[in-house]
Structure 1
């Protein structure tokens, strides 16, 4: 550990959807150095401009050595999450090769790593259309990042996160994220509805649960908890929601906003026409059939309670209010950090 009064934690992706909330939580306990690419986050102790896809993060040899000598842990949250980037190879370049650079930094510094992965790493996405190939490239890049983590000499905790609701302090929802894009599409109340089976489900976790878990896990890694390295699932588990739950929350909000819906927001995929691409396709691939078991969850390893269905429904209602298509839309972003 460094001689500073508080440990120094490096955070990547500090300007992203997760990193913004996590930065606030980590700075309450640690000195936080945010690795930044373009934008500088508010609240970090220090910021260092770096390129996750470059050798030594784009730093000189002396800068790299000095930087590595002054850190105690790395929390790697940066990643590419676009639905359809211009080049699908970008997923591997950012999510896998970027992880390789972070693991090299951890080895140089002899410090542990908390690697934010995705539950998508556990799935293979069928189909050859652009949406399917994009989602598959994303899941493969996350899986490869996890594989790289198994080969490093330093302790690594890999966190497979579920989808996420907007943070409580978010003014608007980040509509480039799947749950928020889906809710925005439902709130548009288009004729015919979105062709998704109402009983299909998605695991969506309140942002605060993930942030609390990552913060507790960082503390465990720093104190050398021997049970902390390895795989961690951070999901809603048995509190997963169905497409019908999402529709119901959107219908309630439309009525509250004085925009009574024209009809159902979901449509029977077997009879719906002309909606086999775009958000309809993303929803069809992103929502799982009812026979699929709930995702595993490890939240109780470091949190006092697993979110209940009531907690998740409350987070859903909060997020729906921020997904209304008539609300201001934040600037679209690519890689976080």
Structure 2
């Protein structure tokens, strides 16, 4: 390590996950944020671009950066499922990872790579929303393959969907769970077409932050070889069902004096060939009950797995956040 407080390069520091992770890392390490357009407050930044060769840095800037860092936490990625050009997923999520791995190679440092459970989820439908979700998952899977082929000490974190922290006062923008809650709370005509026993896996942000922080600490202690490979940060058996989500939304709406006028869920319609907006994306986030729960590795680095009570508490808090965000009529 270079100093008494090692330096961690964080990408995606202004994104939903990166901005939540930044304070936890900054409390322990010197954090250097790789930024493109927006800058986080309170940490040093270096301007770079995941879509450009050499991250858009000169040779001297690249060498200086490589000599300055002790670890990389790579959270930078494209997660916009409304992206009009599917090639953008590869440009940022794949080629951006390739460039980060090259920097790690030159710096001789370990990497925490934020991946996604979508890397191994099958989406076979062919409407626009499904194609976006499939392109995203394919880009994450390819990024993992690059990490494996690099021979570097890389910990690949396959995270499930993410709740806002239970201390949050507003929902994050453009995240799947909150899109789902918004649709249900606004009373989509006919209900969301998902069976009650279909499931989705969502974990509280603070759980993911705690795991990523612990993983970075283990790597910086020199145990990177022990943590290399795949890490699943999920609710596992504590996954939620569509019925759980609908019940939480009904409870919050009723408490606010706006009980639903009709069921929030409806039988799925025959598959369509065209995208039907955010409702279709929300529908794709659920899995049939016969599909096994996602693996869960939380106890590798944290005291315990998530239990159902904790996930339901996070669900109710996040539903309230979305309900409170509605304009009052």
> What TM bracket, shorter-length normalisation?
over 0.9
> Which residue in 1 is equivalent to 2:282?
283
List aligned pairs for 1:36-51, cutoff 5 A: 36-44=35-43, 46-51=44-49
Residue 300 (structure 1) aligns with: 299
Contact 2:128 2:275 in 1 (8 A): no
Query: SS of the residue aligned with 2:150?
Result: coil
User: Which residue of 1 is the match for residue 209 of structure 2?
Assistant: 211
Matched residues in 2 for 1:42 and 1:194: separation?
A: 39
**Mapping of residues 38-117 of structure 1, within 5 Å:** 38-44=37-43, 46-117=44-115
Given the two structures, how large is their TM-score scaled by the length of structure 1? Answer: 0.93
Q: Give CA-to-partner distance per residue, 1:263-311, whole Å, 9 cap, x none.
A: 21111124999x9722332133210000000000100000001111000
Q: Within 2, Cα distance between the matches of 1:271 and 1:265?
A: 18
The structure, 1 or 2, with the larger RCO (C-alpha pairs under 8 Å, 6+ apart) is 1
Structure 1's unaligned 5+ residue stretches are 329-337
Deviation at 1:195, TM superposition (A): 1.0
Inter-partner Cα distance in structure 2 for 1:265 and 1:203: 19
Q: TM-score, normalised by structure 2?
A: 0.95
- Per the TM alignment, residue 325 of structure 1 is displaced from its structure 2 partner at its CA by 7.4
Aligned length: 325
1:236–1:307: 8 Å Cα contact kept in structure 2? yes
Provide the secondary structure at the position in 2 that maps to 1:224.
helix
What secondary structure sits across from 2:10 in the alignment? strand
Q: List gaps (5 residues or longer) in structure 2.
A: none
Q: Provide the residue aligned with 1:164 in structure 2.
A: 162
> Once the two structures are superposed, what CA deviation does each residue of 1:23-48 show, in whole Å capped at 9, x if it has no partner?
0100111000011111111232x011
1:16 aligns with 2:30: no
CA–CA separation in structure 1 for the residues paired with 2:91 and 2:39: 22
Cα 1:31–1:250 shift into 2, 3 Å: same
Structure-to-structure mapping, 1:172-321, within 5 angstroms:
172-225=170-223, 226-270=225-269, 277-321=276-320
Shift of 1:85: 0.2
The answer to whether the 8 A contact 1:175-1:184 is kept is: no
| CA distance in 1 between partners of 2:188 and 2:49 (Å) | 42
Shift of 1:70: 0.7
CA RMSD, 1 decimal: 1.7
3-state SS of the aligned residue for 2:145? helix
Q: Distance in 2 between matches of 1:284 and 1:168?
A: 25
